Structure 1
Amino acid sequence: MRPGAAAPWRDPDAAPFLRIEGLTKRFGGHAALDGIDLSIWRGEFFALLGGSGSGKSTLLRCLAGLATPDAGRILLDGQDMTGVPPHARPVNMMFQSYALFPHMDVARNIAYGLVQDGLPKPAIRARVEEMLALVRMEGFGARRPSDLSGGQRARVALARALAKRPKLLLLDEPLSALDKNLREATQFELMGIQGRTGTTFVIVTHDQEEAMTMATRLAVMDRGALVQVGTPAEVYEFPNSRFTAEFLGTANILEGVAEPGGIAVPSEPGLRIRHAGAAPQPPGARVAVALRPERMRIAPAPQDATHGENRVAGRVRDIAYLGDVFIVHVLTPGGAELRVSLHGATRSTERPVDWDDSVLLTWDAAATMVLPA
């Protein structure tokens, strides 16, 4: 969540702007959506995050009216959208392909929906100029989509989607066709535009970094269900399941057994994991321990180094240099391969460890995430 942003979802008296209740959609015997309940507040930039087949695009299509749910309802600003056709909903959509008309110039693309609604020509011209200014493309109105870069086409598609001033804007993988640098720049442009308009945005993406960068809150989806909903920081720092911990970011997972005051890892004799803040587990309960690579420390160790409390001995199996970070893979005596991230404060020729080095991995109790097995 951006600094200073309100958090109406924490106010028990605040009414959600978009309320999804028991939404179910089946294709044959497969439940693409399995009783989804979700509330989104006015002015949010909300992300639906999940892999292929998770149901995120089906949910977006139901919101747009392009798919009809088998059960449940969608309430937008207090109005039940059940049975309301797509063109009559105060909702617009920015498609993954942008769907710009190649035979029309930028201005006519942006004006298309306004013309269909029968707005007077002076009002259309004024709105088109307003949209061009909003996406910082003044002077581009006479160009064709084929004359634009990928980022410019994305901004035109956004301008067209916002021209009718929808209450809700849906974005379907809008940046997937852009290269990495352009995608990152466009993410911040989208955030700025959403902030200036105050329009509620719901974006579908499979890109975890994209969702965490732009969203005030996000929902992780899997097999038609919501696995976890929260701010990016909440979901990343406090995942409620092994699936979420592994899907959002990277996590090392160790299988453990709860003991008084800690967790033992049977596959790694001598390793005892201390944690802070996790709910107490009854002795003997099987749990999963998740450790983020960036929260672990690595240091050279003697050949005979052993496991201890929040300490794992191992051997460097692989190293990847990514410019700003080293990724070190460490193989433990029990056969686990743990990943450690080291942000590059030194040059690539000054690695703190090397291939086949004996090393010790350590971490703080607060870095330990205890999850259901």
Structure 2
Amino acid sequence: MPPGNGPAPRGPGGQKGTEPWRDPEAEPYLRLRGLTRRFGEVTAVADIDLDIYRGELFALLGGSGSGKSTLLRMLAGFERPDAGTITLDGQDLAAMPPYERPVNMMFQSYALFPHMTVAQNIGYGLKQEGLGRSEIAARVAEALELVQLKGLDARRPHALSGGQRQRVALARSLVKRPKLLLLDEPLGALDKSLREATQFELVNIQERTGTTFIMVTHDQEEAMTMATRIAVMTDGRLAQVGTPAEVYEYPTSRFVASFLGTANIFEGLVKRADATGALVESTAFDAWFESDSDPPKPEGGRVFVAVRPEKMRIETAAAETQPHGANRLSGTVRDIAYYGDFVMYVVALPDGSVVRVSRPTETRITELPITWNDPVTVTWPSFATVVLAQ
């Protein structure tokens, strides 16, 4: 298990280090049990058990066809589960129609009414509920201030930027004060620079309101930046649930290690397994991998080893400081990718496989100390070696 002294994630209401999911006495706000949805012979969501706590900004992360959007639509009531239960704040939602649920959804397209003003768009749901004019005006004004659109209430959507339209859609979703707000790829329609700025705005709004958010995204960086916890999904199932740091630093499978960021994966056999960690012998080439974490299998078991590129050190063979030992590979630089803030080296190993190593850009690209076709040695510390059972 990950150590308890890692970076403290945001907690409900924005409180740093608040982690109700680690408290056995804490009561989940949203509880899913055995949730399943089939479309003919295809099982889109398979037997999902998941607890989400009040005030979380929770991310469902996965690729196309992973089941994340179907799961979100079941929470909204747009899809009926074939099996399982959905309990929100003690209330069973599974058989409840969408319009009766204390849940609101913000769509990727924003779905604003083009003929209405910003204020009319935000207050539309309140008007449909029959609230008085003064109450609607007060709550719309409050929502406009929350999303920093005060003074734009008379504009129509076509006169707004993409980021402003996104905030109008968010205000419309929050003005009804739902117990649960669902966000379907909320930043997908924005360009990269605006998306990055809006990530922090959205997090700050969620912290101020204390509303529980569940966000669907395929963007790993977006989930890592915004979420208190992430559920990585594949083939309709939960591959792993944890804080961004846990899921990235301590993946539980090859799929999670490869899907979230970049990872070098090696296959091997456990040669030593004890309280101090594990020693794994490569099955592909002459190398040993040492880890200081608990091995998932006993001695003799076949496992996989994952190492993140940024945890590795690369040096020319002539400058080699660790000529022997575990966590050491020798090869030749085949490719170099320049990303501005870091350089990615692709190192070819003797068996034909490659390993990726990243290094912060400390000099200009023309002054790189390691270049194409250089013989190099790649090393890394034992804490960077994650041993995986599958």
TM-score w.r.t. length of structure 2: 0.93
Structure 1 residue 276 corresponds to structure 2 residue 288? no
- 1:146, CA displacement in angstroms? 1.0
Q: What is the DSSP-based 3-state SS (H/G/I as helix, E as strand, rest coil) of the residue aligned with 2:388?
A: strand
Unaligned runs of 5+ in 1: none
Structure 1 residue 297 corresponds to structure 2 residue 313: yes
Alpha carbons of structure 1 residues 140 and 277: separation in structure 2 relative to 1, 3 Å: same
Residue range with higher mean Cα deviation, 220-229 or 338-347: 338-347
1:351 Cα offset (Å):
1.3
Q: Counterpart of 1:46?
A: 58
**Count of residue pairs the alignment pairs up:** 372
In 1, Cα distance between equivalents of 2:177 and 2:319: 66
Amino acid at match of 1:166: P
1:348 Cα shift?
Answer: 2.0
Aligned to 2:229: 217
Q: Does 1:342 pair with 2:359?
A: yes
Shift of 1:148: 1.0
Q: Structure 1 residues 157-166 or 305-314, which shifts more?
A: 305-314
Residues 8-52 of structure 1 show CA distances to partners (whole Å, capped at 9, x for unaligned) of 111111110000111010000111111111000000000000111
> 2:72 maps to which residue?
60
Distance 2:18 2:222 in 1: 21
8 Å Cα contact 2:304/2:389 also seen in 1: yes
**Identity across aligned pairs (percent)?**
62
Question: Could you tell me which residue of structure 2 aligns to residue 157 of structure 1?
Answer: 169
Give distance in 2, aligned partners of 1:215 and 1:149: 25
66-75 or 275-284, which moves further after superposition? 275-284
Cα deviation, 1:44-85, whole Å, max 9, x if unaligned, reads 000000111111000000000010001111001000012211
Mapped partners of 1:191, 1:240: distance in 2: 27
Q: Separation in 1 of the partners of 2:365 and 2:25?
A: 54
Cα drift, residue 303 of structure 1: 11
Paired residue for 2:129? 117
CA distance in 1, matches of 2:20, 2:197: 28
Tell me if the contact between 1:307 and 1:313 (Cα under 8 Å) persists in the aligned partners.
no
1:70 paired to 2:86: no
**1:291 positional shift:** 0.5
Q: Which one-letter code corresponds to 2:382 in the other structure?
A: A
Distance 1:104 1:81 in 2: 32
Aligned to 2:3: none
CA distance in 1, matches of 2:50, 2:283: 40
Structure 1 match to 2:376? 359
Query: Does structure 2 retain, via aligned residues, the 8 Å contact 1:49–1:56?
Result: yes
CA distance in 2 between partners of 1:280 and 1:135 (Å): 47
SS at 1:212's partner residue?
Answer: helix
- Distance change (3 Å), C-alpha of 1:201 and 1:280: closer
DSSP-derived class of the 2:215 partner: strand
Matched, 1:235 2:251: no
Q: Please, which runs of 5 or more residues in structure 2 have no aligned partner? A: 1-8, 273-277
| Residues 319, 327 of structure 1: 8 Å contact kept | yes
Aligned residue type for 2:235: R
Distance 2:109 2:372 in 1: 44
Tell me which residue corresponds to 1:99.
111
Listed one character per residue, the Cα deviations across residues 148-207 of structure 1 (whole Å, up to 9, x for unaligned) are: 111111111000000100000000001011111111100000000000000000000011
Aligned counterpart for 1:79 among listed residues 91, 113, 117: 91
User: 1:267 offset after TM fit, Å?
Assistant: 1.6
Give 1:179's match in structure 2, choosing from 191, 204, 209.
191
Amino acid at match of 2:310: E
Segment drifting more, 304-313 vs 220-229: 304-313
Q: Tell me: CA distance 1:280–1:131, structure 2 relative to 1, closer, same or farther (3 Å).
A: closer
Is 1:333–2:350 an aligned residue pair?
A: yes
Q: Distance in 2 between matches of 1:151 and 1:74?
A: 33
Contact (CA 8 Å) 1:306, 1:313: kept in 2 or not?
no
The residue type paired with residue 348 of structure 2 is L
Q: Out of 265, 274, 284, which is 1:267 matched to?
A: 284
Distance 2:335 2:59 in 1: 34
Partner of 2:330: 313
Question: Is the CA contact 2:297–2:389 (under 8 Å) kept in the aligned structure 1?
Answer: no
Selected match of 1:129 from 141, 146, 152: 141
- Give 2:347's aligned amino acid: V
CA, structure 1 residues 307+274, in 2 after alignment: closer, same or farther (shift >3 Å)?
same
- Residue in structure 2 matched with residue 208 of structure 1 by the alignment: 220
Per the alignment, in what secondary structure is the counterpart of residue 300 of structure 2? coil
Who is 2:258 aligned against?
Answer: 246
Q: What secondary structure sits across from 2:80 in the alignment?
A: coil
Contact 1:278-1:369 at 8 Å conserved across structures: no
Structure 1 vs Structure 2 CA RMSD:
1.6
Tell me: CA distance 1:318–1:44, structure 2 relative to 1, closer, same or farther (3 Å): same
* Paired AA for residue 106 in structure 2: M
SS, match of residue 149 in structure 2: coil
Secondary structure of the residue that 2:283 maps to in structure 1? coil
